[in-house]
Structure 1
Amino acid sequence: MDTRDFLHPTALTLTRQRSLVGMDGRDLRRGRDKGEQVRILRGVYVPTDVWKAADDDDQYLIRIQAAVLTRRSQPVLSHQSAARVWGLPILSRWPAEVHFLLSAGSKRKSRAGVVWHYDHFRDDEVVELGGYLVTSRLRTMVDLARTIPFASAVASLDAGLRAPYLLPDGERSETIAKEELQEAVARLGSARGCRAARVSADFADGQSGSTGESVSRANIHLSGMPAPLLQVAYPILGGGEDRVDFTWEARHHIRRLPLLGEFDGKVKYTRDQYLAGRTIEEVVWIEKVREDRLRAPNRGMARWLWAVAVSPARLRTLLIAAGLRPER
């Protein structure tokens, strides 16, 4: 489902709008009872087939749009909700609640699938994006770093620092330097979550190629294993290069061999844009040839999937079995 379809969705129905033309919401409630409609928020419905066809990303966009449409004035999306509009990833499913930001000192009770945050913010920390008011990408990254677990924050920050940064519609956005992120976190002073934000901002690296790589790197750190080099390129005889997610130098290996590490999210085997007209079997064969090429000159190789990437203990066990020596 195209993200842009939900920037101005037509599938949502509000009982408030029906009242303007002399109708009420009884038929929508009956549709819900029959399984034909899903109530997103009080007074907001979407056809069940549309809801079931949407993945977790798109369902959260529907929730965001529903929450925005029920406000009397246009609210400012923040935290995970702003992250979704910007296309910043988090580790786990999107929350059930939509997050809005209000100036410090305001009072609005969180209820009915909406969470209000109260904080100081500058005018330049709120921008318009796709018809929404959202916290700027930098402000969103800082808010996430303050409030979500380390591995998830690293995934968000790494993605936000990536250059070029592509919005969900494919358009380029401005590049944010790591120093800008660190300066923004420093401005927090002693505000709640500042220490966690500093740790995540210092650890963030825009070289990480995917959410899975970022989560792996965070949990490698938490597991007490040495920090790898990122995106090291190895020349191919005859031209070209193989770029590897992680490389540990020989000094970290018990047999004094370089160790290469790769996160395999299986995306390349399932999505059309990665298959590029090839069959899954062809892609798997190409990947095998690549791995054999990388292993050949006295190098070790470790590969892992999501179940290992999200577990510091399992990552530690796998890397020790591959010959890597723990730092602590």
Structure 2
Amino acid sequence: MNPDSPHDWRPLNLGRDARLLGSDGRPVQRLVGSGQAVRLRRGVAVDATGWDTISDRDRYFLRMRAVGATRKSQPVYSHQSAAVLWGLPIIGRWPDEVHLMANGKTGVHSKNGVTWHHDRLPDQDVVEIDGMLVTSLLRTLIDMARTVGFLSAVAALDQGTKPQFILPNGRAAFGIDRDILLDRLDSDGPTRGARTARIAIAFCDNRSGSVGESLSRGQIHLCGFPPPELQVSFVHEDRQEDITDFRWVRKQETRTHRLLGEFDGKVKYTRDAFMSGRTIEEVVWSEKLREDRLRGTGHGMARWIWSVALRRESLLRLLLAAGLRPEPGKRPVGEVNVAVRAQNRR
């Protein structure tokens, strides 16, 4: 356990502890009934202080801890539950179910907020993070690529394939090379979801600068637009350097269309690391000057925020209005499995 980790490590109230002290376990129920505690699962509650303000990820982490506290042996967290400990992102809300590896256990069935996975689990696929057993980064990325939607898989893979990234507990981790992921997928043989996993792994790109950029790039792909260049640098006459999220240079009929795309996450206007001691007004003005410099390069500019990136049709309309056109023969798809079926028919 790492109390300095940003994860929520507040103490758990366990009904079984009360019973060991001679009570019937009802003190936990009374705390929940009075609003002083929040029930995480049967027999486990947590202090309600700040519950309305903690993140969806932290609420999920507390449910993970509650499940671990009610198991007779130490569980191995996997899939999205492992992603929490590795600091890998997903798109959308964290699931209601905690994911565990059965690891040879018989008679365990998915119920009561726990999803059990009965896939083979070699010893090298299990590591320890903050006192909790978890599937290795390699195994976690493979499992995520096989089982979650395309957009969440891409977001997790973009992060997990970086040469190095920082875990929630502050320790550095080395990412997994994409070729290693593909080799592991081959060595595992035919498995459910392997084909969609291969598509997501082949598509991932560790140059992505944020979860919002990963989401946007996945949506751009599913919209049928040509793949953009990533993290393109422009050095101006005053030696000022600007790096853009996306760039397209496309010949369209009689002219060349140049377009820059920028995902505009709120983080740059709120976090101290991005503001460097500046006020929000100063950051906004600096961003306006940056956009003026980029427009001076002869490129058009398209900007969007989270709500647009999350809705494929909204991003499609925005980029069409900016002059971008889908690649010949491609059209937007609703889900990645539609793209998979189309690929299988080729």
TM-score of the pair, normalised by structure 1? 0.94
1:228–1:6 CA distance, 2 compared to 1 (3 A) = closer
Separation in 2, partners of 1:41, 1:254:
64
- CA change 1:171–1:116 in 2 (3 A) is same
Residue 298 (structure 2) aligns with: 298
1:274 CA drift (Å): 2.1
Q: Which residue of 1 aligns with 2:91?
A: 91
In the alignment, which residue of structure 1 is the partner of 2:213? 213
Partner residue of 1:102? Answer: 102
Percent of aligned positions that are identical? 49
Tell me the SS of whatever aligns to 1:256. Answer: strand
Residue 113 of structure 2: aligned partner: 113
For 1:262 and 1:182, the matched residues in 2 are separated by: 30
Corresponding letter in the other structure for 1:176 = I
Q: Could you give the per-residue CA deviations for residues 203-235 of structure 1, whole angstroms, max 9, x where no partner exists?
A: 111111111111111111110110001111111
Query: Which residue identity does 1:211 align to in structure 2?
Result: V
Separation of aligned partners in 1, 2:10 and 2:286: 43
Aligned mates of 1:90, 1:254 — CA distance in 2: 41
Contact 1:126 1:133 in 2 (8 A): yes
- The 1:271/1:5 distance shift into structure 2, 3 A limit, reads closer
Segments ≥4 residues shifted beyond 4 Å: 252-255
Letter in 2 for 1:237: E
- Matching residue's letter, 1:108: V
Q: Is 1:4 paired with 2:5?
A: yes
Instruction: Give 3-state SS (helix, strand or coil) of 1:94's partner.
Output: coil
User: Offset of 1:311 from its aligned partner?
Assistant: 2.5
Q: CA deviation at 1:131?
A: 0.9
Deviates more, 1:185-194 or 1:284-293: 185-194
Structure 1 counterpart SS, 2:301: strand
Partner of residue 27, structure 1: 27
What letter is aligned with 2:300?
G
1:287-314 alpha-carbon deviations (Å, 9 max, x no partner): 1110110001211111111122122222
- Stretch deviating more after TM superposition (221-230 or 167-176): 167-176
Matches of 1:290 and 1:148, distance apart in 2: 37
Alignment deviations for residues 2-53 of structure 1 (CA, whole Å, 9 cap, x no partner): 872647x342111112222223321221221222211101111112224334
SS of equivalent residue, structure 1 residue 219: helix
Q: Distance in 2 between matches of 1:298 and 1:57?
A: 42
TM-score, normalised via structure 2 length: 0.89
SS of alignment partner, residue 89 of structure 1: coil
Report the Cα distance in structure 2 between the residues aligned to 1:274 and 1:141, rounded to whole angstroms.
29
Shift of 1:260: 0.6
Q: Which residue of 1 aligns with 2:271?
A: 271
Q: Hey, what's the Cα distance between the residues in 1 that align with 2:112 and 2:307? A: 33
- Give the direction of change, closer, same or farther, for the CA distance of 1:170–1:132 in structure 2 (3 Å limit): same
Note if contact 1:259-1:300 (Cα within 8 Å) is conserved in structure 2: yes
Give how far 1:162 is off.
1.8
Contact 1:230–1:245 (8 Å) recurs in 2: yes
Q: CA deviation at 1:240?
A: 4.1
Alignment partner, residue 42 of structure 2: 42
Tell me: CA distance 1:16–1:253, structure 2 relative to 1, closer, same or farther (3 Å).
farther
Q: Structure 1 283/188 Cα, relative in aligned 2: closer, same or farther at 3 Å?
A: same
The answer on 1:62 being equivalent to 2:62 is yes
2-side partners of 1:220 and 1:171: how far apart? 33
Code of the aligned partner of 1:112:
N
**Which residue number corresponds to residue 261 of structure 1?**
261
Counterpart Cα distance in 1 of 2:132 and 2:204: 27
Equivalences for 1:49-198 in 2 at 5 Å?
49-103=49-103, 106-198=106-198
Deviation larger for 14-23 or 118-127: 14-23
- Once residues 269 and 295 of structure 1 are traced to their aligned partners in structure 2, the CA distance between those partners, rounded to angstroms, is 22
Shift of 1:253: 8.8
Alpha-carbon RMSD? 1.8
3-state SS of the aligned residue for 1:197? Answer: helix
